[in-house]
Amino acid sequence: MNKETYHIIKEPWVKMRILIDLDDRSHDDPEVLSTLQQTLQDPLIISLIQELQDWPGIVLSSHKSASQHYHKLSFLAEIGLTKEDPGIQAILNKLMSHRSAEGLFTLPTNIPEHYGGSGETVWAWALCDAPILLTCLAKMGYKDHPWVLEGKAFLLGCIKENGWPCQVCPALGKFRGPGRKEDPCPYVNLIMLKLLAQYPDELDRKETRIGCETLLHLWESSLEKHPYMFYMGKDFRKLKVPTIWYDLLHVVDTLSYYPFIYDDPRFIEMLDLIHSKKVNDLYTPESEWKAWSDQAFGNKKKDSSWMTFMIDRIDHRIKV
């Protein structure tokens, strides 16, 4: 997004992230602080913070559901809110009040017996939600908290030679996603890389290289390999915000934290595909989440300043 088009941006949180992530302003810059105050007064942000006071919300039934509380908390973390902002600490206190023996934070989950669960609601974790909770905590001011570091260490230990698998806590019984047990879970690898990206000193380690290679190999083999029914076909390639599930923008945005893949032709191919969708200096969602479709930035009928910023931020990271 050229600076000449900044004036069209309505969302104060987009302006705030532009100042921090594209203009390299500090968090205590007067203009950043001003946009933060405007963000905290934005109707969407107010409603999300109020809604999340009822943490954890409904019993988890589908990790893909964009209306889940933890996905909405992830959005607040993505725009830059922290425990210092009104209403956030109360949410995080509730999140951190339920912790498993493995050191991971849990959500109320109900897996039917015919899927290998008990049919009862239990506080549990799965590798397709635990990394998101830790990422939220890391972004929102608990990056170096012993519990967060302990949870991260446990998750690092779950990796296999071909990436992170589908894995759940003992409370969920024999449940796992559809697919071969030995396959890596694409979504888990994505959100694990998102978590580890919060620790810049640890970006280039064995686990992150395995995770990146897993996603890049799946792109390269997208016509043949669809582990756990995660496809990289037509729907995957549609631009969509906020970044919640396994899709092109979410994958490229996450991979862009890792400099060792910038020259990889598979990463370049994905990024080029995104760039090809730009029209008049802006990007428009090609798909939308029903839970977010009433927000202009996620509506496929409107140009999205948030999506455009996200892609500009990718380019800024890799100095395109």
What tens digit of pLDDT does each residue of 170-219 get? 888 877 777 788 999 999 999 999 999 999 999 999 999 999 999 999 99
User: Pick from 29, 136, 31, 24: which is nearest to 80 by CA?
Assistant: 136
Give the pLDDT band of residue 119 (cuts 50, 70, 90). Answer: confident
- With CA atoms as reference, report the closest residue to 218 among 179, 257, 244: 179
Structural domain contains residue 164: no
Tell me if 87 is assigned to some domain: yes
Q: Give pLDDT, residue 58.
A: 85
pLDDT above 90: residue 13: yes
**Domain annotation covers residue 61:** yes
Task: Give the integer Cα–Cα distance in Å for 241 and 304.
Answer: 9
Q: What is the pLDDT of residue 179?
A: 79
42-56, 139-153, 173-187, 228-242: segment of lowest average pLDDT: 173-187
Query: Residue 169: its pLDDT value, please?
Result: 92
The per-residue pLDDT for range 248-289, each reduced to its tens digit, is 999 999 999 999 999 999 999 999 999 999 998 899 999 999
Is residue 39 one of the residues assigned to a domain? Answer: yes
**Residues 21-33: what's their mean pLDDT?**
97
- Would residue 169 count as lying in a domain? no
Ranking 32-36, 132-136, 225-229 by mean pLDDT, the lowest is 225-229
SS3 of residue 161 by DSSP: coil
Any domain includes 286: yes
Number of folded domains that form the chain: 1
**Which pLDDT score, from 0 to 100, does residue 65 have?**
86
Establish if 11 belongs to a structural domain. Answer: yes
In a domain, 142, yes or no: no
| pLDDT for the residue 20 | 97
Q: What is the pLDDT of residue 320?
A: 63
Q: Mean pLDDT throughout 1-13? A: 75
When the pLDDT of each residue in the chain is averaged and rounded to a whole number, the result is 93
What is the reported pLDDT for 4? 60
Global pTM value: 0.95
pLDDT of residue 155: 98
CB 167, CB 183: distance < 8 Å: no
Task: Go through 149-182 and write b for each residue having 16 or more CB atoms within 10 A of its CB, e for each that does not.
Answer: bebbebbbebbeeebbbbbbbebbbebbbebeee
Cis before 242? omega within 30: yes
Whole-number pLDDT of residue 103: 95
Report phi then psi at 164, rounded to 5: -80, 135
Q: Percent of the chain beyond pLDDT 90?
A: 80
Pick from 25-34, 114-123, 244-253: least confident:
114-123
Domain carrying residue 228: 3-96+189-318
User: Which of 160, 196, 194, 199 lies closest to 180 in space, CA to CA?
Assistant: 160
